[in-house]
Amino acid sequence: MQMRARELTLFTFRLFATVGALGGPHCAFAVQTVDIASTVQRVMAGVVNIRTRDIVRDPDKNEAVASAGSPAARTDRFFDLFLFPGVGGAVRDARSQGSGFFIRGKEYIVTNHHVVKDAQSIDVVVHGRRYPVKARVVGSDARTDIAVLKVERVDEATNLAFGSSERTRIGEGVFTIGNPFGYGHTVTSGILSARNRTIGQGPFDDFIQTDAAVNPGNSGGPLFNARGEVIGINTALLSDARGISFAIPSETARKVTDLIMGLRKARRTWLGIVSLDLKDDDLAVRDESFGVVVQNLAKGSPAHTAGLEAGDVILAVNEKSVRHANDILRVMDALPVGRKVELKVFRKGTPLRVQVTLGALPANSEVERVEGLY
């Protein structure tokens, strides 16, 4: 099959599909060429560059210091520290760059919590618009690192749609648009490398891995599939690795943004436990090499009320095996407040079944400050 020279220059993903039965007399492979350049043009106006300004006081130095709203200890993981220090004096200006995207009404924008945390002002640059627009935070969720902003309606904007990260196969082509190092609306591409990655970022630690190039300033931007659907929100990278970055799955992003915007009345469920994966614990469980150990329980929490105890090893939730805390969270995230779950538990050599009624995660309380509590 001959291809025109013009077609050979297109920046494309090539997706392979089998035509006919494998091994049959007419078995063949067809190549479907997807013009990503056209898809990029269609979604570009849905992506924004975010500029924030804030001043944070250093209690040790008693003066303002530059900060992008994220602890310095996290700069090797989260890439929001693209700083523009101010000029001398007791007060120094602190600015950062990030990305985001429109999801509704050409007014609502999704980004990362750490991009806008503590920001005194937020400016949003829309593709095709000469001047930035002011934005305010509608709501923010630190645990999943998702925030929703609101601007006055921007007619030039395009609302983007969430796709399914779970239906996207490992190895499929993906691309991202963002604001790396302040170079707005930069496009990079790669493949979906893995799912369900744990990188040590709290109880909702479940990320998509990709090799699409991301850099400081891409944080909060969309990760697209070949159809231009948002399947993730770029949020983290490893400073000592190339070609490895992480995104919040679209299934999680959609649920959290709906909750923030008030489109859902349901609240996040919780058990009220702090756990540790069994393989990382000194406890030995006879005949079992997987599960999570309950280290502590919140008094009056659903797990405490149901009779769960510190030292119990959770082996399964609703007959689904548990190897990591994330396995429990994925089951809980799909269920409403008030639903009962059955935990298969191993306690001091004895297998047990414990029924727990999921409660609503208390808001604005000490609960949210306890690391690893879910």
Active site residues: 114, 145, 219
Eight-state DSSP code of residue 259: H
Comparing CA positions, the residue from 179, 195, 1 lying closest to residue 100 is 179
- Quickly list DSSP for 24-80: STT-EEEEEEEEHHHHHHHHGGGEEEEEEEE-EEETTTTEEE---SS-GGGTTT---
- Residues forming a β-bridge with 23: none
For residue 91, the Cα-to-chain-centroid distance in whole angstroms is 33
Type of residue found at 262 = G
- Return d(Cα 199, Cα 207) in angstroms, integer: 8
Q: Which helix (H) or strand (E) holds 14?
A: strand 12-19
The dihedral region occupied by 218, where left means phi > 0, alpha psi between -120 and 50, and beta the remainder, is alpha
Q: Measuring CA to CA, how many Å separate 201 from each of 61, 216, 245, 267, 297?
A: 29, 18, 14, 21, 20
- What is the 8-class DSSP label of residue 109? E
Phi, psi of 252 (to 5 degrees): -70, -45
Sign for the CA dihedral angle at 312, 317, 320, 322 comes to negative
